[in-house]
Amino acid sequence: MIVELDGKWETVMGYKKEQLTEKPYDHKDLIHPNDLEHVKKLQEELKQTRIISLTRYSTIQRWRHGKTGEYIMLSMVWDVDVDADTVLVVCKPIDGFIKVEHN
């Protein structure tokens, strides 16, 4: 669940804070379907583990722009605290750096 947003979400992603607050971050309307499969797989792996309580990983995901409906390529760093059930995510758009086909 997205509980807090900071930075330039509205400028970069086209969403007002109120539109995303209390919305599941893994909602199918936010993340590209191909990327969402990987998110769900990682969620399950973290839920099943008894060894990892803190982890940091980086990923590239496509998130849908709130106004245009186009996908924005984001470089993301996730700090996960499994025990506290919290995640801090820092991201930036990288569309100009990597050329991909948006399906």
What CATH number is associated with residue 43?
Answer: 3.30.450
Q: Give me the domain span that covers residue 55.
A: 9-93
Residue type, 14: G
With respect to residue 4, please indicate whether it lies within any of the assigned structural domains: no
With respect to residue 100, please indicate whether it lies within any of the assigned structural domains: no
pLDDT per residue, tens digit, the chain (103 aa), is 888 888 888 888 999 988 888 888 887 789 999 998 888 887 787 777 767 778 888 889 999 999 999 999 999 998 888 788 888 889 999 976 555 555 5
Residue with tokens 């979400």: 9
Cα angle: 6, vertex 35, 94; to 5 degrees:
55
With respect to residue 98, please indicate whether it lies within any of the assigned structural domains: no
Structural domain count of the chain: 1
With respect to residue 79, please indicate whether it lies within any of the assigned structural domains: yes
Give the Cα separation of 32 and 8 in Å (integer). 20
